[in-house]
Structure formats: C-alpha cells, structure tokens
Chain A
C-alpha cells in the first residue's frame, strides 16, 4: 500500500466564501438597529399579543443573522447546518413540552 498520500488532493467540501469586512460591519449595524427596535418596542404601548410577536420575530431574526453570517453557516457545508439545527430543534421541542407540562402556555 503506497504511503504517498497527497493530502492536498483530499476532497475539500468546505466553502471558504463569506462576506467582506465591510459586509460584516453592515451586518453588525443591522443587528444594532434590530436591538434598538426591540428596546423601542418596550416603550411603545402595544397590545400584548402584537408586542410579543414582534419581539420574538426580531429575536429570531437576530439569531438567524448571527448564525448564518457571523458563524458562516450560510456559506459552509450543509452538514454543519443539520448538526446545529437538529440540536436546536431537539432542545426547542423538549423544553416546549416541559413548559406545556407545567401549564406555562395555558396560564396555569
């Protein structure tokens, strides 16, 4: 068996593309704006359901932006996406079930 393995020829499925530094600064500005919006929402008198929905929407948007761009998941191999989101979805499912068991959503 030959020992002359050229590791440079090994299949590299990762993508090294991403944003430029300016692009990342733009993303950071967007995140700051979304954070400011969240804080502003607490100062506005909105109906409870609308307030919660907007706040949670902004939270999820910020989460997805950081994961996709800063953590490079958007540009990397899909296996990493499956690994992370499977853990996240499992955690969400488990703890939503736990909260439901304690009547959190029914106000009990």
Chain B
C-alpha cells in the first residue's frame, strides 16, 4: 500500500522523507506523525519530556515507566552522586585540618563575620531561586527572568567573597601547596566555588534562552532542574560553613 509523502518538518530536517517507492517507507511513514516526532513501532515517543514543542508547556509529565519526569529523576541521581564527591572532599579536609605546619592555623585565618555574610547571601540566593521556580510554574516569564538574574548576582557576590578570602589567606602565607591543610581547604572550597560558578552560567543561560524562546516544552521544569542544582550547592555550603569555619580546628 502506498502512503502519501510526508512533508519535511523544518524543525526536524534530519528526519527522512517518506519514499513511497521503497517497501520500508510505508513503515516509516506510518511511524511519523504530524508533529514531526519519530515514533517506534509501539507508538512511543523516543524523546524525553519537553520535546513535544510549544504546545506542551503545561507541565504534564511525559509517559515514562515511572510516571515521573526522566529529567528530574536524572538530576536527583546526579545530586546523589555529588554527595559522594563532596563527602570525599569534606572528610579529607577533616582529616588534614590539623596539618597546618609552616602557616597560620585555621582559627587565625578564618574571618567568621565575612563568611557569615557570604553564607547569608547564598541562603538568600536559594530563596530567589525558589521564587524563580514558582514564577515559572505560574508562566510568569518576566519575574522568572528577574529572580533568576538576582540569584545569579547573589551567587556572583558569594564567589567574589570567596576569591577575596582566598587572596587574603594567600597573603597570610597559606598557599595551595603550603601544607596539607591548605591543599585540602582550597580543594574543597575551590570545588564548591566552581560549582557555584557553573550554576551562575546555567542561570544566565536559562535567562537568555527564555528571552529568545529557545526552551521547548516545559519551561518550568527546566527552571526547576536548575533550581535543584542551585539548592544542592547551597546545602553543601551549609555543611562546609559549619564543619570548616565554625568548628574550631
């Protein structure tokens, strides 16, 4: 049976056009529906949540075997694995915090007021992040962008304070290779700072993509996933602030 040719979908230009001359084309044509998505023989969309195009920005979960968003599941699994990363760095620091030969001790170096303020800044960035998520769920794109930008600015303030702290410590005589305390401290807080920086890049990327309407499907979920990452970075700092700065060596 010959099937009519399927017009090319400009959004999916790699999708082969149905060729009525070849026997397999009928099967291909039968699997391709008007929205340009490629379905396997069982009619399942091979693409994840959010790929249905502009009509599906309503937050409905895609048909997965768990009934949950695969993207969200993946983010939580990733965050679980990040616990292992930071667990290793924190426990290494705890082991080596007393090895500060040839340099000032942690208690002499740490500026608790400055670190308290930067901790507060990061906590408030978590608030602005969750406000961005609720704005995205209300489909309020303007406020979503505003709160995302504020979150990024607060995060940048935190990173700035960290950089200032590192330079002060270096001036006081604590370098990365000075002693085991220095190595473990800079590695732990440096990794955290890099995570915050990556989070800032993600936030500003989402702001840019929102402005250019480059986010297909569920915009709220994209903002929520970035939010999960950001909050995780915050809870890691909650632990670092207490174990590294507040508990005396």
The answer to the question of A44 belonging to the interface, with a C-beta cut-off of 8 Å to chain B, is no
Given known contacts A3-B43, A32-B120, A84-B79, A95 and B91 CB-to-CB distance under 8 angstroms? yes
What CA separation (Å) do A28 and B61 show in the bound complex? Answer: 29
B8 at interface, CB cutoff 8 A: no
Interface 9-residue window, one of B11-19, B179-187, B201-209, B228-236: B228-236
Contact (Cβ within 8 A) B124 A28: yes
Query: Which residues from B are CB-within-8-Å of A58?
Result: 242
Contact (Cβ within 8 A) B80 A31: no
**A50-85 Cβ-contact flags toward B at 8 Å (1 or 0):** 001001101100110011011110000101100110
How many Å lie between the Cα of A77 and that of B137 in the bound state?
18
Residues 222-249 of B at the A interface (beta carbon under 8 Å): 224, 227-228, 231-232, 234-235, 238-239, 241-243, 246-247
Which residues of B (8-64) have their CB < 8 Å from a CB of A?
A: 30-31, 33, 39, 41-45, 52, 56, 59-64
A28-B123, A62-B238, A90-B84 given; A10·B91 CB < 8 A: no
The complex places the Cα of A63 from the Cα of B45 at a distance, in Å, of 38
Q: Shortest CB–CB separation between residue A65 and chain B, in angstroms?
A: 9
- Majority DSSP secondary structure for residues of B touching A: helix
Contact B246–A66 (Cβ < 8 Å): no
A77 to B64 alpha-carbon distance, docked (Å): 14
The reply to whether B134 and A18 contact each other, CB–CB distance below 8 Å, is yes
Specify the main secondary structure of chain A where it touches its partner.
helix
> How far apart are B167's CB and chain A's nearest CB, in angstroms?
23
Please give, as numbers and ranges, the residues of chain A lying within 8 Å of B228 by CB-CB distance. 71
Closest 8 CB pairs of A and B: A87-B80, A91-B87, A10-B63, A28-B127, A95-B91, A59-B242, A13-B67, A11-B67
Please give the residue numbers on chain A whose beta carbons come within 8 Å of chain B beta carbons, in ascending order: 1-3, 5, 7-8, 10-14, 16, 18, 20-21, 24-25, 27-28, 31-32, 35, 38-39, 41-42, 52, 55-56, 58-59, 62-63, 66-67, 69-72, 77, 79-80, 83-84, 86-88, 90-92, 94-95, 98-99, 102, 104
Contact residues of B with A, CB < 8 Å?
Answer: 30-31, 33, 39, 41-45, 52, 56, 59-64, 66-69, 72-73, 76-77, 79-81, 83-84, 86-88, 90-91, 94-95, 112, 116, 119-120, 123-124, 126-127, 129-131, 134, 137, 224, 227-228, 231-232, 234-235, 238-239, 241-243, 246-247
